[in-house]
Amino acid sequence: MALWGGRFASGPADSVAALSRSVDFDWRLAPYDIRVNLAHLDGLIQSGVIPNGNGEVIRAGLKALGNEIMTGKFSYDDSDEDVHSAIERGLIAKIGAIGGALRAGRSRNDLVVTDFKLYLIDHLLDIASLTVNLVEAFNKQSRTNLEVFAPGFTHLQHAQPIVFGHELAKHSQALLRDLDRIGDWLVRNSASPLGAGALSGSGLQPNPEISAQNLGFDGVIANSIDAVSDRDFAAEALFVMAMLGVHLSRIGEEFTLWSTTEFSWVQIADEYSTGSSI
């Protein structure tokens, strides 16, 4: 199901359709697409574009479809171009042509970028929570080892005596900077793109602040063209996660070294260990 049309007398070539098809990897946005559609629906109802009665039918259909997505009962098929067309197809199949009214005042441009932001917000919050747990674990071990002395190494050679708690605490400091970066990202991306439409907004959705509030954003992006045309938030999130990944890799490499016979500083539990093929 394509969400575009017009002067075209025939459909696209199979190769073009395959190139345009993104549903295989953007299906992970489906729960967020439901959330964004529900928020958009509230705006359309409050602005009078969709009557209350019709709006409640659409709302019930979206919620039911969302539940089916979560349980795996509903998914995309070969006819779907992307997550948005799949969900519209499912909604219309469930409640009839009235489901198409959700397109009013909305474009895939602002829909997908809002989905994407919500996806990143949720996942970065989950990552931040796990990182906090790791920081607390390092801090606990650092306090436990305040009076344990160990050699400090340069080039894997004994260099200076150190407190082992100080050695462990270095990881907390790096991880705290990662948490700061996540926090900065969340502040910078606390405005909603929904309502920007294809690029210049829509008179059918005159109060995008309603949708923004319903989705948990602090406000609306100031420039509608910027809202739908830039993906710097994704690039920045990739850097934040890459930097965290480097720090986690450093921890893993260090613990691997410390678990060797030559060090014997830590013992890694069997369920987190592997062996040599020789």
What's the chain look like in SS3?
CCCCCCCCCCCCCHHHHHHHCCHHHHHHHHHHHHHHHHHHHHHHHHCCCCCHHHHHHHHHHHHHHHHHHHHCCCCCCCCCCCHHHHHHHHHHHHHCHHHHHHHCCCCHHHHHHHHHHHHHHHHHHHHHHHHHHHHHHHHHHHHHCCCCEEEEEECCEEEEEEEHHHHHHHHHHHHHHHHHHHHHHHHHCCEECCCCCCCCCCCCCCCHHHHHHHCCCCEECCCHHHHHHCCHHHHHHHHHHHHHHHHHHHHHHHHHHHCCCCCCCCCCCHHHCCCCCC
| 15 is known as an active-site residue | no
pLDDT of residue 80: 96
pLDDT in tens, 260-275: 999 999 999 999 998 8
The single residue of 10, 155, 264, 277 carrying the catalytic annotation is 155
In the predicted model, what is the mean pLDDT of residues 240-248?
Answer: 99
Lowest mean pLDDT among 6-15, 46-55, 169-178, 234-243: 6-15
- pTM (whole model) above 0.85: yes
pLDDT in tens, 181-236: 999 999 999 999 999 999 999 999 888 999 999 999 999 999 999 999 999 999 99
Average pLDDT of every residue of the chain:
95
The single residue of 10, 15, 200, 276 carrying the catalytic annotation is 276
pLDDT band at 8 (very low <50, low <70, confident <90, very high): confident
Share of the chain above pLDDT 90, in %: 90
pLDDT in tens, 35-72: 999 999 999 999 999 999 999 999 999 999 999 999 99
Of 62, 47, 35, 189, the residue nearest 105 (C-alpha): 47
pLDDT of residue 205: 87
pLDDT of residue 4: 54
| Position with higher pLDDT, 63 vs 6 | 63
pLDDT of residue 245: 99
pLDDT of residue 2: 61
pLDDT of residue 193: 98
Residue 259 CB partners (closer than 8 Å, separation 6+): 265, 266, 267, 268
HSE, side-chain direction, 13 A CA sphere, residue 61:
24
pLDDT of residue 118: 99
pLDDT band at 1 (very low <50, low <70, confident <90, very high): low
| 142 is known as an active-site residue | no
Q: Could you give the domains of the chain?
A: 14-104 (1.10.275.10), 109-208+222-272 (1.20.200.10)
